[in-house]
A and B are shown apart, each in its own frame.
Chain A
């Protein structure tokens, strides 16, 4: 198992609410990427944070936002929840700089259900 942790494990929200998901990166890793994985599909890239700055973003609307803290942990915030936001949210951490630093290690995920 990797050292990447996520909380909470499961979450149920209603449409229109806001949610915050948390990720603690593996020791020594300063880059965190977030993914949405709908049932039966591959993970879809939401965004990446490096040294507290957004470092790339996938095709997700602005109501998906994030933060990275000085200890490299990260949050994913989703506003105005929609039914289609129901999915497994995965974070992955990686080091930065040099050969072999592109390997991403995933956390266990947060299962979000929007009713």
Chain B
């Protein structure tokens, strides 16, 4: 089955700096790659997603890139703010089934 690895496990940046989180996946058939943000005690919230027919997607300060050949995808957050502090999860699935999540990255943005 699919295996998703996520790095780093913790990331601390200064407010205004950029943050990058990287994930790799093992199943070349995976075609959907969402990123979720989870604050303490709350549900995971979708922040951006990308499908295998697209190489890059951007939504304001958040962008995701996908390299299908290398089987890796990355989350980029620019101009970080303290409210960006949370745990971020990447995931991969085939046709919305059996979604596999990475272990998470705890992002801390210091004011």
A90 interface neighbour in B43, B91, B97, Cβ under 8 Å = B43
Taking Cβ atoms with an 8 Å cutoff, the residues of B that contact A are 1, 6, 32, 34, 36, 42-46, 49, 51, 89, 91, 93, 95-104
Interface size class of chain A, counting residues whose CB lies under 8 Å from the partner chain: 20 to 34
Given contacts A42-B103, A42-B104, 11 further A-B contacts (CB under 8 A): A41-B103, A42-B6, A42-B89, A43-B101, A48-B97, A58-B98, A90-B44, A102-B51, A104-B46, A104-B99, A108-B42
Q: Which of A80-113 contact B (CB under 8 A)?
A: 90, 94, 96, 99, 101-109
Q: Which residue of chain B is the closest to A44 with respect to CB atoms?
A: B101
Q: Would you call A105 and B46 a contact (CB within 8 A)?
A: yes
Point out the residues of chain B lying under 8 angstroms from A43, CB to CB: 44, 89, 101
CA distance A44 to B101 in the complex (A): 7
Q: Tell whether A106 pairs with B44 under 8 Å between CB atoms, given A31-B96, A43-B89.
A: yes
CA distance A103 to B95 in the complex (A): 10
CA distance A94 to B99 in the complex (A): 12
In the complex, whether A8 has a CB less than 8 A from a CB of chain B is no
CA distance A28 to B40 in the complex (A): 29
Minimum C-beta distance from A37 to chain B (A):
8
Point out the residues of chain A lying under 8 angstroms from B102, CB to CB: 42
B6, B51, B96, B97 — which one has the most chain A CB atoms within 10 A of its CB? B96
Point out the residues of chain A lying under 8 angstroms from B104, CB to CB: 40-42
In the complex, whether A71 has a CB less than 8 A from a CB of chain B is no
B98 interface neighbour in A31, A45, A94, Cβ under 8 Å = A45
Minimum C-beta distance from B19 to chain A (A):
18
CA distance A64 to B18 in the complex (A): 42
